[in-house]
Structure 1
Amino acid sequence: MEERIVLYAAPSIGHIVSMVEVAKRLSLRRHNITILLTTGFLDHPSTDAYIHRISTDHPSISFHRFPHSDPPPPGTLSLTARALHFIRNNVPNVTSALTLISKTSTIKAFVIDIFCTSAMDAASSMGIPVYYFFTSGAAMIALYIYFPLIHEQTEKSLKDLKVELRVPGMTAGVRAWEMPEPLLDREDPCYEEMVYFCRQLPRSSGIMVNTFRELEVNAVKAIEEGLCFPDQKERPPVYYIGPLIADPSDQQHQSGGESKDCLSWLEKQPSKSVVYLCFGSRGSFSVEQLREIAQALERSAQRFLWVVKSPPLHPGTNQLLADQDNFDPISVLPTGFTHRTQDRGMVVASWAPQVEVLSRQSVGAFVTHCGWNSVLEAVVAGVPMIAWPLYAEQHVNRNVMVEDMKVALAVDQTQEHGGLVSAQEVERVVRMVMESDGKGKDLRDSISKMKDMALAALSETGSSSASLANLVQSWTQ
């Protein structure tokens, strides 16, 4: 029978894209790949077209979509609790898929996202080695491996602690209330499940991480020295195989007229003159915050390309699970803003081809929510960042970007009550990053070196290529 690697992506387009990039790297080494996908929760409108394009362009990669399953209603459950409940309900579908694939193929490895840990036993019971693919960086995997120790050291919820936590591999401490959301509240049903997931990480056959050794030197060192492992007897091999970022050609199905217009507009701007603002596939702001950003951009006199999503449906959140149809950014921005800034700025609704945008010579800074995919895309493009985390692990990413990687400056999110960042603060940090000397120059120098290291890591003799080769070799033994 043929040999096959089976991958299982967590819901949401960002996790799917990262898993597909792993599949593409493995397919280059003559592996046949099947990617398992859920249906019914956090589905993205572009997913069907995206997987069709991947299947067409990469015949060795196939997709197995599970039947539609309804997630728990919003009610009182957190987003993560709903997601984990949904993924857990899909375990029978995982078992059925693995059984079906095993009839015609020898499954050499089952690669899962950390949020898909509930499927681990299904594969292990069939004698299939289970590996993790971690879509964030080395610092975050160190934190998750270390978290059971933090859990045992306190009986209170982290959201209620006004302390800094020290995590091996991170220069700066992490404020307890800025830890990843699933770890904040012991009363949340997802909390115990996340602790269990963290305990399972060291018990896997190996962990792949979407980073490269040279980007996160401190975290990689802490992991290799075992500083974050609660039990030194449980230390699986860790493979740093990134940076894995989306191929622009795979996003062509999303490129409407407005997207092409923004690329044409960027081509006409001077080198390193444009501030690009985008907050991921789900990042969203209140109307009040959007107007503060608009005021800052108008005052700054900088050129800008700004992707504006519709405000969140529920107050107090910065996440949008689905874009509003026919959303018009002008409806939420200050009256006359687009007219007054038309000679130096462009506003795009909901989405832009980010990898292509960041590759344009005119882009001089990137205001980002610190999602890991976006961080890697900026590193590969050599664009310095302004860190504005919103949810998930993004506050931890910010600390690493600023203190360890030295590729970003952070927006001060404590200036205003209620989490509102003032126009003055946004203007201050934008000017600082775009300035020709001082902090701006330091960031550009640092990110330029990281760009060169990223390209070297992916070269034939680079660290990430060697790491992936070692992983593939282990499957042939």
Structure 2
Amino acid sequence: MKDTIVLYPNIGRGHLVSMVELGKLILTHYPSLSITILILTPPTTTLAATDSNANYIAAVSTTTPAIKFHRIHLPPLPSSAPSLPDHFLSLELSRHSTPNVAVALQSLAKTSTLKALVMDFMNFNDPKTLTHNLNLPTYFYFTSGASTLAVLLLLPTIHQNAANKNFKEHPLQIHVPGLPSFSTDDFPNEAKDPSDPTFNMLIRTVETMKGSAGIIVNTFEAIEEIPIKALNEDEKIPPLYCIGPVISSPYGEEDNGCMSWLDSQPSQSVVLLSFGSMGRFSRVQLREIAKGLEKSEKRFLWVVRSELEEGGDSGELLLPEGFLERTKEIGLVVRDWAPQQEILSHDSVGGFVTHCGWNSVLEAVCEGVPMVAWPLYAEQFLNKVVLVEEMKVALAVKVGKEGLVSSTELGERVKQLMDSAKGKEIRQRVFKMKMSAAEARAESGSSRVALDKLAMSWKLSNSVRGLNFSPFVLAIVFFSSFLFSFIGLALPSLHRRSRIRGNSATWGPTREMVKTAEVVRRGLAGGEHGGEDGDDVGRGDGGWLGKIN
């Protein structure tokens, strides 16, 4: 039977794409494995959404046949299910999918040798229930950055220290060592109020992640070195595998004329405006964006996903009168979808107004494109803080009354990014990060090393799992290990005594044995430093996440 890694994405195209790209990365370096992706199909899935995913899945199956898909049809949610915002409803759906997913895993185990289960962090399942009797190690895939992960893992402690206050009514300034100081206003709404049903789901998800075999993060050391180091040093957090940047690859979708239009534009002259699949704006905000682009006098490619006016057949009804005609020489407005990664990689693109979704951030970094940060929901506000204040690769827009970004504000930020000395500094900084991203993915780069460690953890966990020692053998192994450790700790003292007696040449351990024992003893004693010649033994007294409960 083939060795198989099972990937379990959350509902939604974006989550599916992220898992597919993770699967492709694994197969690129470990082609002997196979990948099976579980597809949750909720009862209310629209025909359009089904067709869209079906086309995507068919394309993946054709280009990467080692990736298999296993569909799981879900029953309707019970009437007692809590009312949740759309982007968190999937948490409740995944919770009710637990029996179905468990049955699917049992079925897969009959035809494949399952090595690991990798769950989307947005899946609200108990891994122990899912993998009952399979003894399968479970990992979580965190598709945002390490900085956001650090804040998420600290969420229970933050609220406990604040006496479980509602941060919507009582915002606080938070300092997480290794990150810029930020306000709880930058938390996702669902993480602000302990009485919110989604908050309790997040807390339980945090506890589940902390009990897993490891957390896979779509980031790389060069852009988040400090939070990654702190997370790695905290013994209450499972091993971290920073294998990014994992970037989505195009599957032949139409580009809506974007690329041919970009071909006719000067180098680094165009600003891309794209706000993700859920980035929809009111008519008032759309008009402010349009006016701001005119005020900036910069070339632009704008992806508009907002709903049309009733009875309209184009986006023109949502925009200021005559806008499309006035800007036809310098701008292109595209409805609904555009190949964002391909656009960012085009030589004519010199700036990016983004909602700060982490995938979009990584795409911009990998192409060396500076950003204007305009977060809209979820963890995007935390990403904005990191981009602007820590990485310094973006300018932030100021949101005015009633949550609107004015045309003047947007126009000034776009001009600042493209024309000012500060914009030039940001451009140079993000170009260096582009180089770092390439180095991380190289043969000996940090992300490749992390992927190798992840694969080794699958091999080791399954090797131990497959041995099936008897209790008697395990007892002998344990006693022998204890006895060897005791002798090893005593060796340096015995060696010193033998030297006093003048017997060091004829009796006693070798120099290497003494050195090893001394290193182990220092490590067990909690010393700060490792052994000689770079030996790294023991870990410190916890990092800045050491007080997580």
**So what's the TM-score if we normalise by structure 1?**
0.90
Aligned pair 1:36/2:38, yes or no? yes
Secondary structure in 1 aligned to 2:73?
coil
Aligned pair 1:167/2:179, yes or no? no
Secondary structure in 2 aligned to 1:365?
strand
In the alignment, what sits opposite 2:449?
Answer: 466
Out of 401, 425, 429, the residue aligned to residue 446 of structure 1 is 429
- Unpaired runs of 5+ residues, structure 2, are 461-549
Deviation at 1:69, TM superposition (A): 4.0
**How does 1:330-409 map onto structure 2 within 5 Å?**
330-409=316-395
Aligned pair 1:304/2:300, yes or no? yes
Deviation at 1:164, TM superposition (A): 1.5
**Residue type at the aligned position of 2:150:** A
Residue 164 to residue 42, structure 1, CA distance change in 2 (3 Å) = farther
CA displacement, residues 337-359 of structure 1 (integer Å, 9 cap, x when unaligned):
00000010000001100011001
Distance 1:238 1:301 in 2: 45
In the alignment, what sits opposite 1:268?
Answer: 264
In the alignment, what sits opposite 1:423?
Answer: 407
Deviation at 1:15, TM superposition (A): 1.4
CA displacement, residues 122-156 of structure 1 (integer Å, 9 cap, x when unaligned):
23423110001100011111111111111212222
Secondary structure in 1 aligned to 2:84?
coil
Distance 1:182 1:55 in 2: 36
Out of 101, 121, 124, the residue aligned to residue 128 of structure 2 is 121
Distance 2:54 2:313 in 1: 22
CA displacement, residues 264-319 of structure 1 (integer Å, 9 cap, x when unaligned):
00011000100100000111111000000100111111000000112499xxxxxx
Distance 2:405 2:398 in 1: 7
Distance 1:53 1:326 in 2: 33
Distance 2:329 2:430 in 1: 29
Distance 1:350 1:80 in 2: 19
Residue 64 to residue 261, structure 1, CA distance change in 2 (3 Å) = same
Given that 2:74 and 2:97 are in contact with CA atoms closer than 8 Å, whether structure 1 keeps it comes out as no
Out of 166, 185, 189, the residue aligned to residue 157 of structure 1 is 166
Distance 1:291 1:117 in 2: 39
**How does 1:194-213 map onto structure 2 within 5 Å?**
194-213=202-221
**Residue type at the aligned position of 1:24:** K
Secondary structure in 2 aligned to 1:97?
helix
Given that 1:3 and 1:107 are in contact with CA atoms closer than 8 Å, whether structure 2 keeps it comes out as yes
Deviation at 1:118, TM superposition (A): 1.1
Distance 1:473 1:411 in 2: 44
CA displacement, residues 67-120 of structure 1 (integer Å, 9 cap, x when unaligned):
154457899532355222111111111111100000011211100011114141
Given that 1:169 and 1:221 are in contact with CA atoms closer than 8 Å, whether structure 2 keeps it comes out as no
Residue 72 to residue 181, structure 1, CA distance change in 2 (3 Å) = farther
**Residue type at the aligned position of 1:114:** F
In the alignment, what sits opposite 2:315?
Answer: 329
Distance 2:156 2:311 in 1: 42
In the alignment, what sits opposite 1:145?
Answer: 153
- Unpaired runs of 5+ residues, structure 1, are 227-231, 314-323
**Residue type at the aligned position of 2:451:** L
In the alignment, what sits opposite 2:119?
Answer: 112
Secondary structure in 2 aligned to 1:386?
strand
**Residue type at the aligned position of 1:246:** S
In the alignment, what sits opposite 2:56?
Answer: 50
**Residue type at the aligned position of 1:420:** L
**Residue type at the aligned position of 2:284:** E
Secondary structure in 1 aligned to 2:3?
strand
Distance 2:2 2:83 in 1: 47
Q: Which of 162-171 and 285-294 deviates more? A: 162-171
In the alignment, what sits opposite 2:99?
Answer: 92
Secondary structure in 2 aligned to 1:159?
coil
In the alignment, what sits opposite 1:229?
Answer: none
Aligned pair 1:245/2:247, yes or no? yes
Given that 1:161 and 1:177 are in contact with CA atoms closer than 8 Å, whether structure 2 keeps it comes out as no
**Residue type at the aligned position of 1:130:** T
Deviation at 1:186, TM superposition (A): 2.2
Q: Give the root-mean-square deviation of aligned CA atoms.
A: 2.0
Distance 1:80 1:388 in 2: 18
Given that 2:92 and 2:124 are in contact with CA atoms closer than 8 Å, whether structure 1 keeps it comes out as no
Matched residue count: 451
Given that 1:170 and 1:400 are in contact with CA atoms closer than 8 Å, whether structure 2 keeps it comes out as yes
Residue 52 to residue 327, structure 1, CA distance change in 2 (3 Å) = farther
Given that 1:408 and 1:443 are in contact with CA atoms closer than 8 Å, whether structure 2 keeps it comes out as yes
Distance 1:151 1:359 in 2: 41
Distance 2:131 2:218 in 1: 24
**Residue type at the aligned position of 1:34:** T
Distance 1:208 1:327 in 2: 44
Distance 1:418 1:101 in 2: 51
Distance 1:123 1:58 in 2: 27
Secondary structure in 2 aligned to 1:361?
coil
Deviation at 1:184, TM superposition (A): 2.0
Residue 97 to residue 169, structure 1, CA distance change in 2 (3 Å) = farther
Given that 2:256 and 2:334 are in contact with CA atoms closer than 8 Å, whether structure 1 keeps it comes out as no
Deviation at 1:162, TM superposition (A): 2.3
Given that 1:9 and 1:15 are in contact with CA atoms closer than 8 Å, whether structure 2 keeps it comes out as yes
Secondary structure in 2 aligned to 1:118?
coil
Distance 1:115 1:327 in 2: 36
Residue 368 to residue 279, structure 1, CA distance change in 2 (3 Å) = same
Residue 71 to residue 281, structure 1, CA distance change in 2 (3 Å) = farther
Out of 230, 233, 237, the residue aligned to residue 225 of structure 1 is 233
**So what's the TM-score if we normalise by structure 2?**
0.79
Distance 1:301 1:310 in 2: 23
Secondary structure in 2 aligned to 1:87?
helix
Deviation at 1:4, TM superposition (A): 0.7
Distance 1:182 1:58 in 2: 37
In the alignment, what sits opposite 1:317?
Answer: none
**Residue type at the aligned position of 1:400:** V
Secondary structure in 1 aligned to 2:257?
helix
**Residue type at the aligned position of 1:374:** S
Distance 2:308 2:12 in 1: 17
Q: Which has the larger radius of gyration?
A: 2
Secondary structure in 1 aligned to 2:127?
helix
Given that 2:99 and 2:130 are in contact with CA atoms closer than 8 Å, whether structure 1 keeps it comes out as no
